[in-house]
């Protein structure tokens, strides 16, 4: 059956079914020749990769502040497009942008191919910019916009992807990339070309603020968008303070006042108990719990790279049109806030980049923690089951809002620390090349020892190890137990030295520490060495290696 006929059937059926009406929070449409596929289909369909490229080519021709490039290629050789919006810059190379002195924001959609609101919202945002809106942003800011990051997953469209989601009824992409990898679990191990590309982008362009745009199902809450700052406890306090105390509360209030939409920190309701010795029945109130602190996730990874990193999760059971609108509002108001508070953002990033870490304690393992000493009111909602034109059920958000007191578990605390050394030492053996390749992609500076020398170092003596029985993302994760032991060793020429006195230190620490729950050891990247003689190959020194 031809797609146009399918679209007509879907349109008629869904109109009578009341699906995806989404008119309460509708967004203004652009010129007839510059609509996204979502808009053209009345929100029954979503854009394919080729359509996004065509849209971007068109919008870039409308605005000489814009240029279209790519920052990588997918496993199936699709270009990952990047639109740069920079005023008064003929040279928009990464180096020129990095050294411009302007505030740089990176906006990313579609890391999961079926979570398509960000992709559509970012196209609309670029159309608005090209039409003359938001001009003041570009006096002192540069936008980097990547609407379709998981391009392979985006085009693997199926009607059964993301069951229960409220549209688009014409299907959406798949969660993983073409390798079957969840790209939002790949930021540390870098086993996909997409993750390697975004890791390099962060180093090349050095954005101050990043937004990663998703869709979430789960708890039937009443929020159109839930969000998260970086959750890892090793994130610099200046980053966390700016997000939790300033940016996110301000943007939340603005969107509620302007658009009537409630936003809050990401979480799911479940379990009970909290607050220690809370009086009465409060100790048994339900919990509102966030997800995971590990830096395999985009916002947590970028937090360890000293970025103002924001996760956005549109509610899957709101209509497709409303999800696009809510995501667009979140991006617009965040960029507005960044424009008005550019100095605060620069200061927070600079503090994080320059804070000395050598000799301090950082976490290698942690647990979820209570965010507030008192319960908070979480806005709970409701959904009803409806059926689309193909007879498949989906959940439709109802206009219900029930404040419910809960203990909020929205942060993490360390359960095991290690001291940050002055340097890590990687011996010059071929088996460790995968480590060096990944460190380079992560932007971690390395230098080579030009002559052998004897020095006092620490080596990690392995007491025991375990390997997960089932693979996750194609890897049987490994855990080591043991202790660092100091001794004198001869360090050969061509040894790789990683000094820990730069902005890369938080990330390098977590990649290289053997007990880190999301580092190279966990992801089995060192297995070929560890399985050989049981020794951990990477050494460390608490004295700078000059």
Instruction: Determine the Cα–Cα distance for residues 209 and 307; give it in Å rounded to an integer.
Output: 6
The mean pLDDT values, 10 residues at a time, for the chain of 546 residues are 35 35 56 87 97 98 98 98 98 98 99 98 98 98 99 97 95 98 99 99 99 97 99 99 99 99 98 61 89 99 99 99 99 99 99 99 98 97 93 95 98 99 96 96 98 97 95 97 96 98 98 99 93 82 96
SS3 540: strand
Instruction: Determine the Cα–Cα distance for residues 122 and 353; give it in Å rounded to an integer.
Output: 29
Residue 45's Cβ-side half-sphere holds a number of Cα atoms within 13 Å equal to 19
Domains of the chain, by residue range, sit at 3-271+287-354, 419-541
Ramachandran region of residue 244, left (φ > 0), alpha (ψ -120 to 50) or beta?
A: alpha
pLDDT digits (tens, 9 = 90+) for 311-343: 999 999 999 999 999 999 999 999 999 999 999
In this prediction, residue 533 carries a pLDDT of 61
Phi/psi at 277 (nearest 5 deg)? -90, 40
Strands 411-419, 361-369: pairing kind:
antiparallel
Query: With helix as H, strand as E and coil as C, how does 360-374 read?
Result: CEEEEEEEEECCCCC
Instruction: Determine the Cα–Cα distance for residues 28 and 45; give it in Å rounded to an integer.
Output: 18
Q: Examine residue 168 and say whether the peptide bond preceding it is cis (omega within 30 degrees of 0).
A: yes
Query: With DSSP H G I counted as helix, E B as strand and the rest as coil, what are the percentages for the chain, rounded to 5?
Result: 30, 25, 40
pLDDT digits (tens, 9 = 90+) for 165-206: 999 999 999 999 999 999 999 999 999 999 999 999 999 999
In this prediction, residue 29 carries a pLDDT of 67
E strand or H helix at 490? strand 478-491
User: Domain 3-271+287-354 is classified in which CATH homologous superfamily?
Assistant: Zn peptidases (3.40.630.10)
Give this prediction's pTM: 0.94
Query: With helix as H, strand as E and coil as C, how does 466-479 read?
Result: EECCCCECCECCEE
Instruction: Determine the Cα–Cα distance for residues 53 and 64; give it in Å rounded to an integer.
Output: 17
């Amino acid at each position: 059956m031809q797609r146009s006929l399918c679209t007509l059937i879907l349109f008629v059926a869904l109109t009578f079914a009341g699906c995806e009406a989404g008119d309460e929070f509708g967004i203004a449409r652009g010129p007839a020749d510059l609509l996204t596929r979502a808009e053209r289909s009345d929100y029954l369909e979503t854009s394919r990769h080729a359509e996004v490229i065509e849209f971007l080519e068109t919008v870039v021709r409308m605005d000489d502040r814009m240029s279209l490039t790519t920052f990588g290629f997918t496993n199936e050789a699709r270009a990952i497009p990047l639109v740069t919006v920079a005023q008064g810059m003929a040279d928009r190379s990464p180096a020129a942008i990095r050294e411009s002195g302007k505030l740089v924001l990176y906006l990313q959609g579609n890391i999961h191919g079926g979570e398509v609101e960000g992709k559509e919202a970012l196209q609309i945002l670029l159309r608005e910019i090209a039409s003359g809106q938001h001009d003041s942003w570009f006096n002192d800011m540069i936008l980097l916009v990547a609407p379709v990051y998981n391009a392979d997953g985006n085009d693997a469209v199926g009607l059964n992807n993301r069951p229960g989601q409220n549209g688009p009824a014409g299907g959406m992409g798949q969660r993983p990339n073409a390798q079957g990898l969840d790209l939002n679990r790949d930021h540390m191990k870098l086993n996909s070309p997409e993750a390697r590309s975004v890791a390099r982008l962060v180093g090349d362009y050095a954005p101050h603020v990043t937004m990663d745009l998703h869709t979430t199902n789960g708890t039937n809450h009443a929020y159109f968008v839930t969000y998260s700052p970086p959750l890892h406890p090793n994130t610099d306090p200046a980053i966390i303070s700016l997000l939790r105390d300033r940016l996110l509360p301000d943007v939340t209030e603005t969107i509620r006042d302007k658009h009537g939409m409630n936003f809050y920190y990401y979480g799911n309701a479940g379990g009970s108990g909290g607050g220690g010795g809370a009086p009465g029945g409060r100790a048994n109130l339900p919990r509102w719990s966030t997800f995971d602190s590990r830096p395999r996730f985009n916002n947590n990874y970028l937090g360890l790279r000293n970025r103002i990193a924001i996760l956005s999760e549109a509610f899957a059971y709101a209509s497709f049109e409303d999800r696009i609108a809510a995501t667009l509002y979140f991006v617009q108001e965040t960029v507005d806030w960044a424009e008005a508070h550019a100095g605060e953002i620069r200061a927070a990033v600079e503090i994080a980049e320059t804070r000395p870490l050598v000799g301090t304690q950082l976490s290698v393992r942690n647990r979820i923690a209570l965010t507030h000493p008192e319960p908070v009111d979480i806005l709970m909602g409701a959904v009803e089951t409806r059926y689309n034109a193909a007879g498949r059920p989906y959940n439709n958000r109802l206009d219900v809002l029930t404040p419910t007191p809960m203990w909020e578990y929205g942060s993490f605390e360390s359960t095991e620390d290690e001291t940050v050394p002055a340097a890590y030492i990687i011996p010059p053996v071929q088996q460790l090349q995968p480590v060096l390749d990944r460190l380079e992609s992560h932007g971690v500076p390395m230098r080579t020892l030009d002559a052998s020398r004897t020095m006092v170092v620490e080596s990690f003596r392995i007491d025991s190890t375990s390997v997960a029985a089932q693979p996750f993302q194609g890897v049987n994760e490994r855990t080591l137990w043991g202790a660092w032991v100091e001794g004198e060793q001869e360090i050969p020429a061509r040894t790789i030295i990683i000094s820990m006195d730069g902005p890369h230190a938080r990330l390098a620490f977590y990649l290289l520490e053997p007990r880190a729950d999301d580092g190279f050891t966990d992801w089995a990247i060192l297995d070929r060495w560890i399985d050989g003689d049981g020794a951990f190959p990477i050494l460390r020194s608490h004295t700078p290696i000059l």
